[in-house]
Structure 1
Amino acid sequence: MSLARDAMEGNDGSAAVSRPDPALLSWSGGKDSAWTLHVLRQRSDVEVVALVTTLTEGYGRSSMQGVRREVLLAQAAAAGLPLVEACIPRDCDNAIYEAAFAEALAQARRRWPDLRRIAFGDLFLADIRAWREALCERLGWTPLFPLFGAGTAALAGEMIAAGMRTYLCCVDTQQLDAGFAGRDFDRTLLADLPEGVDPCGENGEFHTCVGDGPMFAYPLDLARGETVLRDGRFAYTDFLLSMDSP
């Protein structure tokens, strides 16, 4: 039975009180997943109990952002949540990805048997949402998209105003100049983005690594490392935990 349908009746026969449904949150280490956690924590019907991330074998980094595993673990600790890991090979097709993802979800459900929901930080790409919905249906999960349909310009400003500290860790140089890699995601960066580049990078123009925000109990001390070009297209800036970071 879902936790949301569990009821507790008081000794005085008072009305039952609903408990929130537990949920996983798909975690990339970037701003959209972090902001999704912040938004869900404002709701009374859902409680995020763990983060789930996809790591590339041999690299120990999140598959799109390239965020180091140790940074992902530090983010999870700052959020006060465990991190469930799905590992995939570097050259990975949909079938392999889905199998690894399914195993991670099964692992989470073994720990939290009432888990039925998983949240994603997608903003407006309908095809990605449809693919996630189809995958979740096959696996017996209900997807949540708390940010879907939000205006990305307003959302970017809201994140910055709330004190989120995040950095561009990956830039698609076919859509944005490599010089943006490693920069702070702040109002200056938003003003510098060329016309046609989404303020939240929702079209894949850039990905981010979060160091602080209202979803964290404390900030991470991240040190900016070198920037390298991979696959002749993607400029990755490495972010490492400082020795002073918790």
Structure 2
Amino acid sequence: MSSLRSNSLKAFVSFSGGKESVFALYQGLKEGLEIEALLTMFNTTGLRTRGHALKADFLKAQAEALGLPLIMGKSSWNSYEKVFKSILKRLKRKGIEGGIFGDVYLEEHKEWVERVCSETGLLPFLPLWGKDPKDVFEDFVRSGFKAIIISLQSPIPKNFIGKELNLYMLKTFDQLQIDPCGERGEYHTAVLDGPIFKKKLEIRKSKVVKLKEILRLEIEEFVIRKK
């Protein structure tokens, strides 16, 4: 698998606002990569992210807190790849040489990333790939990142919604035989703070809504604070 290992390479980050994409960004910076922008795919209205259904203003706030520009793509699921590749080609023309992705073990995701990057002339960097999901979870928390659970499915306890990730959760995930990273959508997170954040986000108002089998935390009000 191609990877970005040169400290002179310019890269974008495929950014969901969740823990893996932020941790992949963190690892890329540790490798010495020049991070030029965050790339997030939204629905056709541009109001919510495709992956985590976070609102656009929250993603913009995360980008501000990280001190990086946010590139917003809009697509349906059917047009997702076409729009994504169009943006990558534009980034390539602007001097971007590769992309950072937070995939951990889903082979079909890695194959898609490698193919799309190959077809657009970019190099893929998957710094979390092949790592034990438990180790990824632990390293993320121990590195000082703060993330909350914004959606979950059974059998994850309902009272986990809105809670900050902590190492005690690993015991519950192990007992329920749930992937600690939630790679298959068992749960999603939103990152509020961490060692690479120049500012931090604080949730002021939220509510829990149920969508079929999914519980989701709707972030209604938040503030960006200096650290």
Q: Deviation of residue 245 (structure 1)?
A: 4.1
**Cα contact 2:150–2:217 (8 A) shared by 1:** yes
What residue is the counterpart of 2:126 in the other structure? 145
In the alignment, residue 209 of structure 1 is paired with which amino acid?
A
The answer to whether the aligner puts 1:22 opposite 2:10 as a matched pair is yes
In the alignment, residue 190 of structure 1 is paired with which amino acid?
L
CA distance, structure 2, for counterparts of residue 134 and residue 19 of structure 1:
23
Counting matched residue pairs gives: 221
What residue is the counterpart of 2:136 in the other structure? 155
Distance 1:86 1:208, change over 3 A: same
Q: Deviation of residue 188 (structure 1)?
A: 2.8
Structure 1 residue corresponding to 2:160, chosen from 180, 193, 212: 180
Structure 2 residue corresponding to 1:60, chosen from 47, 51, 64: 47
CA distance, structure 2, for counterparts of residue 106 and residue 97 of structure 1:
14
Q: Deviation of residue 229 (structure 1)?
A: 2.0
Q: Deviation of residue 243 (structure 1)?
A: 4.3
1:26-45 mapped onto 2 (5 Å cutoff): 26-44=14-32
CA distance, structure 1, for counterparts of residue 170 and residue 118 of structure 2:
37
What is the RMSD of the two structures over their aligned residues, measured on CA atoms? Answer: 2.1
1:72-111 mapped onto 2 (5 Å cutoff): 72-89=59-76, 92-93=77-78, 96-110=79-93
Identity of aligned residues (%): 27
**Cα contact 2:20–2:103 (8 A) shared by 1:** yes
What residue is the counterpart of 2:199 in the other structure? 218
TM-score relative to the length of structure 1: 0.82
Q: Deviation of residue 237 (structure 1)?
A: 0.7
Q: Deviation of residue 26 (structure 1)?
A: 0.2
Larger deviation, residues 201-210 vs 184-193:
184-193
In the alignment, residue 235 of structure 1 is paired with which amino acid?
L
Q: Deviation of residue 107 (structure 1)?
A: 3.7
Larger radius of gyration: 1
| Structure 1 residue ranges without an equivalent (≥5) | 5-17
